[in-house]
Amino acid sequence: MANTLFDATLHLAAKFAGRGDHADAITVMVPWASWNLPPFENTILAYNLAQMFLKLGDVDSALAWFDWGLEHDRAIRRTLIAEGKAALLYEQGRRDEADAMWAQMQAEGWLDDAGRQRIAANRKTAAAAR
């Protein structure tokens, strides 16, 4: 039951976001962070919340939600949140921090082939931009 409601929440949040009601999307999603979702769902929640806060121009809150999601990301050996945070850090000019995150992802060995190529490309682009 919980996942059905969570799926419905995500659909509703997407509907709100589609019409520019980002604050309402946040309102329906935030409570779920307290309700013991499995790690995968928490990474989806964190990623979506971070994106909604970015739409509102609130970078600090977006980074905070990425940070909240990182432990759930790591619990299931995924990099959705880590890559999201690294990308945001890079966009914010915090390139050393972004590169450190990419390097960590490469070192941890969880990336699939596409992920390895993606991260390597990111690091190469970042290095060329220095």
Chain positions contacting other proteins, by CB under 8 A: 2, 5-6, 8-9, 11-12, 15, 24, 27-28, 30-35, 61, 64-65, 67-68
Angle at the Cα of 69 from the Cα atoms of 48 and 39, rounded to 5 degrees: 95
Quick one: CA dihedral 71, 74, 6, 36, positive or negative?
Answer: negative
Amino acid occupying residue 35 = W
Judged by CB, which is closer to other proteins: 75, or 121? 75
Q: Are 73 and 35 in contact, with CB atoms under 8 Å apart?
A: no
CB 108, min distance to other proteins, A: 23
The distance of closest approach from Cβ of residue 70 to other proteins in the complex, given in angstroms and rounded to an integer, is 11
Provide, rounded to whole angstroms, the least separation between the CB of residue 129 and other proteins.
30
